[in-house]
Amino acid sequence: MLYQRVTHRGFLVFSTLLFAASAATTIFWCVSMSALGGMRMPGGWTMSMSWMRMPGQTWSGAAASFLGMWVVMMMAMMMPSLVPMLWRYRQAVGSIRRLNWLTTHVAAGYFFVWTLIGIAAFPLGVTLATLEMQRPALSQAVPVMAGLVIVLAGCFQFTRLKARQLACCRATPGSGRVLPASTVTAWRHGLRLGIHCSVCCAGLIAILMVAGTMDLLAMAVVAAAISAERLAPAGERIARITGLLIVAAGLFLTAKAIIGI
């Protein structure tokens, strides 16, 4: 019993330190990116430096830099809601032998999914940025398109798909069953959590991509929304309230871009 308490305490301490380190690193990167500024584009918006190479940097180096920032950023944003999921996993594992090791595999599987998303996001972002720089008409339309993306992201909060994935993220693993204390099972469980979480967060992450991947305010708001709908007792209701606010904000931004209010 004492060993179990020490093991769980160590898990909580390590999770807290990991969150603090990832948050501090994210803030440092965001401040550094802000100091570099951005590229003013036709249409009155600023393109993030995340999609550009630094002087003397290769594309492979730029991709590696983006992926590193992406993974650390996801750790900072997702740790508050991931830790309760990991805790539920730990409660569902019958044996406490290698419990921290198994938990590490769950977390690794979870962040592996987010890493794959980052790998896909970088070439997509670079391609869009290149097109926007080459075609002024497309750049002019970006504020309107961004507003519409935000509206769609808010609408996603009301879908059955969102509700199903949110329920999976909030559920106790194994539905009352004891999970095998297996490395393979832990890895697969982490992958499932990552898939459910990434689909559940699709709308909110889309907002982050539109607002700027290294925008501290946008990051904080998205992280708070994700944590609230996962941890609060009425998570689905909070998701819908968040959706209403997002739709309203998207409509306002779209109208502002169209009529210049």
Span 130-143, pLDDT tens digits: 888 888 888 888 88
Q: pTM here? A: 0.88
CB 231 within 8 A of CB 81: yes
Beta strands in the chain (DSSP E): 39-41, 45-47
Can you tell me the distance from the alpha carbon of 125 to that of 34, in angstroms, rounded to the nearest whole number?
Answer: 18
The mean-pLDDT minimum among 47-61, 132-146, 172-186, 238-252 falls in: 172-186
pLDDT tens for each residue of 50-75:
777 777 778 888 889 889 999 999 99
Can you tell me the distance from the alpha carbon of 161 to that of 123, in angstroms, rounded to the nearest whole number?
Answer: 27
